[in-house]
Amino acid sequence: MDETLQDGEDFYLNEEGLLVFTAQYLLKRGYCCRNGCLHCPYDPPSESPPKSK
């Protein structure tokens, strides 16, 4: 797997200039870090399956 992050696909910069990971990237990463990511597709704890949309 290519480890290079793709702007707009894996992350974007918010209005404050902070890097925000997308749900697509977080799913690709494969686990919840439990830091309250804005687009987290997981329900903590990290063993939980992704949220269904």
* Domain ranges for the chain: 1-53
| pTM value surpassing 0.85 | no
Q: Which helix (H) or strand (E) covers residue 11, if one does?
A: strand 11-13
User: Which pLDDT value is given to residue 34?
Assistant: 87
Give CA 21 to chain center in angstroms: 4
Mean pLDDT of 26-45: 88
User: Which pLDDT value is given to residue 22?
Assistant: 97
